[in-house]
Amino acid sequence: MERHGRDANAAATPRPALALAEAEAGNDPYCAITNAPPDRPFVIAQLGQSLDGRIATLSGESRWINKDAALDHLHRLRALVDAVVVGVGTVAADDPMLNVRRVPGRHPARVIIDPSGRTPPGARCLDAGDGVRRVIVTTPEAEVTCPGVECVRVARGENGAMEPARIVAALAATGFKRVLVEGGASTVSQFMDAGVIDRLHVLVAPVILGSGKPGLGLAPIARLADARRPRTRVYVLADGDVLFDCDLRT
């Protein structure tokens, strides 16, 4: 694991409103996105969690495990991708807006993975006010009745879910090559198990919930030797949260 920064004793703090040119030139947590290969999709995923690995309380409350700097970072990620993707469980629990409000930058398209068409028509991320594309990824048979929202249809695979690799390919075909999978745990975990995530940002807050919804839940491994140990950079954010920037292609 690499601790990032000029001073070996002080980890670097990513500035939330980093200009695009600086991100392209520098060695920061945004380079992987701005330098993403143009000839294939690039997928970054994020999870904000407590010290004990929870992304929400048992009642589903997840605001605000992380503090301002981590939220700024999340909005910066949003501003750098073509589309932000969430599972319908997150829409039902949090009704997020999924836009860029905390930093300068453009709003990404908003994508909900919703195989059964249960997204509430009034979901805030489907609001057309900022003019971005809004997409529901669903199955060929599902009925989706959200006016003005595009549908991308992906057949269910053998396990009953839509294969993440097919979702990524379908989104790329519709113009979204750089994608941020923002949650929840089930969606990020499926994408990680399928090997389609290039970069994982885990934002750990120094708070202990002691119970609640776990973050990643991957296919079980039998031996420690089988655990993933991606090349990771660590950034201590200004208000104490810690960003683990994991390169899942290593």
- The binding site for ligand NAP (CB under 6 A) comprises 47-49, 55-56, 60, 62, 65, 86-90, 93-94, 113, 115-116, 118, 161-162, 164, 182-187, 190, 213
Which two three-digit tokens encode residue 47?
């999870």
CB of 48 to ligand NAP, least distance (A): 4
Q: Is the dihedral of CA 147, 149, 155, 156 positive or negative?
A: negative
Nearer to ligand NAP, 157 or 175 (CB): 157
Q: How many helices (H) and strands (E) does the chain have?
A: 6, 12
Nearer to ligand NAP, 178 or 201 (CB): 201
CB of 103 to ligand NAP, least distance (A): 17
The DSSP result for 109-158, as a single string, is: EEEEE-TT----TT-GGG--TT---EEEEE-TT-----TT-EEEE--B-T
Q: Nearest-CA neighbor of 139 among 88, 185, 96? A: 88
CB of 158 to ligand NAP, least distance (A): 12
Nearer to ligand NAP, 37 or 140 (CB): 140
CB of 184 to ligand NAP, least distance (A): 2
Nearer to ligand NAP, 2 or 141 (CB): 141
Q: Nearest-CA neighbor of 181 among 159, 165, 157, 160? A: 165
